[in-house]
A and B are shown apart, each in its own frame.
Chain A
Amino acid sequence: MLLSEVGYARPETLEQALEVLAENSGARALAGGQTLINVMKSRAASPDVLVDLGGLAELRGIELGSDGTLELGAMTTYTELIGSAEARARPILGEVCAQIADVQVRNRGTIGGNVCSSDPTNHLPPLLVAVGATFTIASRDGERTVPAEEFFLGVYMTAAGQGELLTKIAIPPGRKDGFATVPVGVDGTCIVNAAASVNGEVRVALGCVGATPEVVRPASADEDAVREAVRAADLDPPGDVHASAEYRKHLAEIVAARAVEQAAGRKS
Chain B
Amino acid sequence: MEVVTSQRISVEVNGTTYEREVEARRLLIHLLRDDLDLTGSHVGCDTGNCGACSVILDGALVKSCMLLAVQADGASIETVEGLSEDEELTPLQQAFRDQHGLQCGYCTPGMLMSATALLRDNPSPSDDEISKAIQGNICRCTGYWNIVKAIKAASGQEVE
Contacts and interface: CB of A to CB of B under 8 A. Distances in A.
A3 B27 contact: yes
Interface residues of A, number: 36
Contact of A105 (B4, B48, B70, B73): B48
B25 A9 contact: no
B64 to A, nearest CB: 9
A5 B5 contact: yes
A186 B66 contact: no
Interface stretch (B54-62, B89-97, B139-147): B54-62
Contact of B136 (A20, A24, A104): A104
Interface size class of B (residues with CB under 8 A): 20 to 34
Contacts of A105: 48, 63, 66, 136
A104 B111 CA distance: 12
Contact of B133 (A20, A34, A103, A186): A103
A5 B1 contact: no
Interface stretch (A48-56, A144-152, A260-268): A48-56
A165 B27 CA distance: 25
B5 A103 contact: no
A98 B30 CA distance: 29
Given A6-B25, A34-B66, A41-B46, A103 B61 contact: yes
Interface in B1-60: 1-5, 7, 23-27, 46-48, 51, 54, 60
B108 interface: no
A37 B66 contact: yes
A241 interface: no
B119 interface: no
A113 to B, nearest CB: 12
Query: Interface SS of chain A: helix, strand, loop or mixed?
Result: mixed
A3 B133 CA distance: 29
A79 B57 CA distance: 14
Interface string A26-49: 000010011001100100000001
Contacts of A101: 135-136
Given A3-B25, A105-B136, A107-B62, A9 B3 contact: yes
A37 B70 contact: no
B3 A24 contact: yes
B135 A187 contact: yes
Contact of A20 (B3, B47, B114): B3
Centre residue among A19, A30, A54, A108 by max chain B CB count within 10 A? A108
Contacts of A54: 71
8 closest A-B pairs (Cβ-Cβ)? A102-B136, A8-B24, A3-B25, A7-B3, A107-B60, A102-B135, A20-B1, A104-B136
20 contacts: A3-B27, A4-B25, A6-B5, A6-B24, A6-B25, A7-B3, A7-B5, A8-B5, A9-B3, A23-B1, A24-B3, A33-B66, A37-B66, A50-B68, A103-B132, A104-B54, A104-B62, A104-B63, A105-B48, A105-B136
Interface of A: 1-11, 16, 19-20, 23-24, 30, 33-34, 37-38, 41, 49-50, 52, 54, 79, 101-105, 107-108, 186-187
Interface of B: 1-5, 7, 23-27, 46-48, 51, 54, 60-63, 65-68, 70-71, 73, 114, 117, 132-133, 135-137
Given A2-B25, A3-B26, A6-B24, 18 more contacts: A3-B25, A6-B25, A8-B4, A8-B7, A8-B24, A10-B73, A33-B67, A33-B68, A37-B27, A38-B48, A38-B66, A101-B136, A103-B114, A103-B132, A104-B51, A104-B62, A104-B114, A107-B62
